[in-house]
Structure 1
Amino acid sequence: MQPILRLFLVKNSGDLARFGVILALAGLILFGALRYENFLSPYNILSFLRYNSMFALIALGMAFVIITGGIDLSVGGTAAMASVVAALLSPYHWAAGLAGGMAAGLAVGALNGFIITKMRIQPFIATLATMLAAYGTGLLLADNQSVSVSYDTGFTVIGQDDFLGFPIPAWIALAAYVLGWLVLQKLPIGRHILAIGDGEATAGLMGLKVERALAGVYLASGTLAGLAGVILASQFGAGQPTEGVGWELFAIASVVVGGTLLTGGSGSVGATLAGALLLAMVFNILNFENGLGWISLSAYWQSVIRGAFLLVVVVLQAKLMARHRST
């Protein structure tokens, strides 16, 4: 049991807040199981995991960026562009589509890292610029329309098939999170990333290779966004150049709900996953509630409710952390 808890928690003052998101997720699952007949049905569980694996991947990349004290606004545009690239390459081979989409994400991540570390541009401005560029590139490549993928090369298996009864996208996300946990908790680069978040100048004085670590973090974020784009194209059968709007906000919200401070210096990979699942679960609950007929909320109202839910969770976590520090 202890190794599982270590995946979700780190030993600092934010542990209590991060444990809170796990309790909230468990509470929502219990509520849904008691209220809705098919909430725990295999169809709902597998569909939930298959679809939300994309958001979990971009949240993981965002967690590493925010731990360093940065921000990556380009993940949504990167995923949209990568989905188009993957769709265009899918007729050649499923591996070509997968590699092409991830390479597109890696290219955006490399550009972000270069602008931030070498040109000394603030991450907010740098990634805002690359977000716009990524959306524009995707629209140009797609000629402002969806791009159908090939169904003959096995590319759709990535997003639509299962392995050992579990959706392949969920396996991919799980593997990414295990690797992310190992990097952050077990490897020296993880300690460097945390140190940079505590203070970039101080980390430099300690002899840490700050620029290399920052570039690696943005490379990882871009690559994970590219992988999310591959899953998007494979799952829906088309590259979507207009998708990804608001994905960066979902990723940031997942990281914050998971207890990671926007100022950087601390964070938890497992709590980020719990945060992403928690926000996704809110939508799932609302969809079931619509199905009961007691309420009828459009997607717009669902966004309002999820935003309010995020605000409540953040306020509660802030109070928990303040109380924890005072004791």
Structure 2
Amino acid sequence: MTATRTETTVAGPLADDEPLGASRGERLTALAQQHGALVALLALSAVASVGFDSFLTGDNLENMAVSSAFLAVVALGMTFVIVTGGIDLSVGSLFALGGVLAAWGSQYGTLVALALPLAVCGLIGLVNGLLIARARLAPFIVTLAAMLLARGVLLAVTDEGSTTYLVDESAFFARLGQEKLLGVGLPVWITALLFVAGAVVLRRTRFGQYVYAVGGNEDAAALMGAPVARTKVAVYTLSGLCAGFAGALNAAWLVSGVTILGSGMELEAIAAVVIGGTLLSGGFGFISGSLVGVLLLKVIQNVINQIGSLDSAYQQVVSGGFLALVVVAQTWLGRRRRMV
């Protein structure tokens, strides 16, 4: 009976993958976990569109979309990590480091501007994965050390933050962040393509099944023949690559490598992933849900800015309170799902 239940968790992370014999209560619970954040996003957007005339304007929507793109790319990599039951606290520093390296490398061409942050941040993610999977160190400690390491490298590259590298606005690299397609910024299109690819990988490939299996029950996954260590190394490497690429894309948008960015981004990414329905305990999650989680956080921030009379600190208060509410709801739904 236990083995059968493990297979259900691994092979059926989404509502439309539930086995035919699943009860109505189990299907409804799975739907609530998958689409609860989307319902909240639509409801909040509807209220904001009625309460604020400028909410649905093209400029406001585009600003929200572009500013969401960078966090969304980071959250994409974080989704894979959390589905395996891990955590990555280094992504905020890797995001900032990736932006600085991309801005510095842009003087040597677009290829260097993109390859350098991907190589450095991907390497740090690879080391994280090896220490966690092979040396069996705690993800929290390993990625916390990587966060400090990346921030230290950033300070060394920028002379303690006193040097800001600029991107030539006429360079092709800058166009990746500045150009628009059909009235929408290129970062948004690039992010959309990455999420489509991520969803296909997680749901339709053998690697994606390994990710769910490792998060659902690591010992059972090993008995089933899943390459547990390689899967963990792969997801942390992917997380580093996503953070580095997001930083590079942000540098192209800002046409500079800003050293103070990325502080607290790891917490935002974790919050977005969890709000989107991915369980912190692993084995259950959605790529689409993480995107919805990012958008919901950005809409909350935008609504607070629209109010005008509220301090920006309220964004953190509301986001933190909402995250706590979601975690409680997820815990309750998870217990209910096991009972039905």
Structure 1: how far apart are the matches of 2:179 and 2:147? 30
Could you tell me which of 198, 215, 219 is aligned with 1:201? 219
Instruction: Give unmatched runs, 5+ long, in structure 2.
Output: 1-11, 19-28
Structure 1: how far apart are the matches of 2:274 and 2:16? 15
Determine the structure 2 residue equivalent to 1:313: 326
Determine the structure 2 residue equivalent to 1:230: 248
Structure 2: how far apart are the matches of 1:109 and 1:149? 26
Percent pairwise identity: 38
Determine the structure 1 residue equivalent to 2:122: 106
Local SS of the residue matching 2:101? helix
Deviation at 1:320, TM superposition (A): 4.2
Determine the structure 2 residue equivalent to 1:49: 65
Call closer, same or farther: CA 1:138–1:157 in 2, change over 3 Å: same
Local SS of the residue matching 2:173? coil
Determine the structure 1 residue equivalent to 2:74: 58
Instruction: Give unmatched runs, 5+ long, in structure 1.
Output: 1-5, 291-295
- Is residue 37–residue 296 contact of structure 2 (8 Å, CA) maintained in 1? yes
- Is residue 71–residue 123 contact of structure 1 (8 Å, CA) maintained in 2? yes
Could you tell me which of 32, 54, 62 is aligned with 1:38? 54
- Is residue 91–residue 152 contact of structure 1 (8 Å, CA) maintained in 2? no
- Is residue 13–residue 285 contact of structure 2 (8 Å, CA) maintained in 1? no
Count of aligned residue pairs for this structure pair? 317
Call closer, same or farther: CA 1:194–1:24 in 2, change over 3 Å: same
- Is residue 91–residue 243 contact of structure 2 (8 Å, CA) maintained in 1? yes
Determine the structure 2 residue equivalent to 1:115: 131
Matched, 1:301 2:314: yes
Structure 2: how far apart are the matches of 1:126 and 1:172? 30
Local SS of the residue matching 1:238? coil
Local SS of the residue matching 1:148? coil
Aligned-partner residue type, residue 314 of structure 2: W
- Is residue 72–residue 123 contact of structure 1 (8 Å, CA) maintained in 2? yes
For residues 237-282 of structure 1, the C-alpha deviation after alignment (integer angstroms, 9 at most, x for no partner) is: 2112221111110111111111111110111111111111111110
Deviates most, 33-42 or 81-90 = 33-42
Aligned-partner residue type, residue 280 of structure 2: L
Deviates most, 187-196 or 308-317 = 308-317
- Is residue 95–residue 243 contact of structure 2 (8 Å, CA) maintained in 1? yes
- Is residue 63–residue 272 contact of structure 1 (8 Å, CA) maintained in 2? yes
RMSD: 1.9
Aligned-partner residue type, residue 69 of structure 1: G
Matched, 1:218 2:236: yes
For residues 12-56 of structure 1, the C-alpha deviation after alignment (integer angstroms, 9 at most, x for no partner) is: 654322211110011111111111112111111111111110110
- Is residue 274–residue 326 contact of structure 2 (8 Å, CA) maintained in 1? no
TM-score for the superposition, normalised by structure 1: 0.92
For residues 66-107 of structure 1, the C-alpha deviation after alignment (integer angstroms, 9 at most, x for no partner) is: 000110000001011111100101112123212222222211
Deviation at 1:321, TM superposition (A): 4.3
- Is residue 113–residue 173 contact of structure 2 (8 Å, CA) maintained in 1? yes
Deviates most, 52-61 or 98-107 = 98-107
Structure 1: how far apart are the matches of 2:48 and 2:112? 40
Structure 2: how far apart are the matches of 1:9 and 1:106? 33
Determine the structure 1 residue equivalent to 2:177: 159
Could you tell me which of 22, 31, 39 is aligned with 1:15? 31
Deviates most, 228-237 or 267-276 = 228-237
Deviates most, 205-214 or 185-194 = 205-214
Deviation at 1:7, TM superposition (A): 12
Structure 1: how far apart are the matches of 2:182 and 2:45? 23
Local SS of the residue matching 2:314? helix
Call closer, same or farther: CA 1:120–1:320 in 2, change over 3 Å: closer
Could you tell me which of 271, 278, 294 is aligned with 1:276? 294
Determine the structure 2 residue equivalent to 1:246: 264
Deviation at 1:142, TM superposition (A): 1.2
Structure 1: how far apart are the matches of 2:227 and 2:335? 33
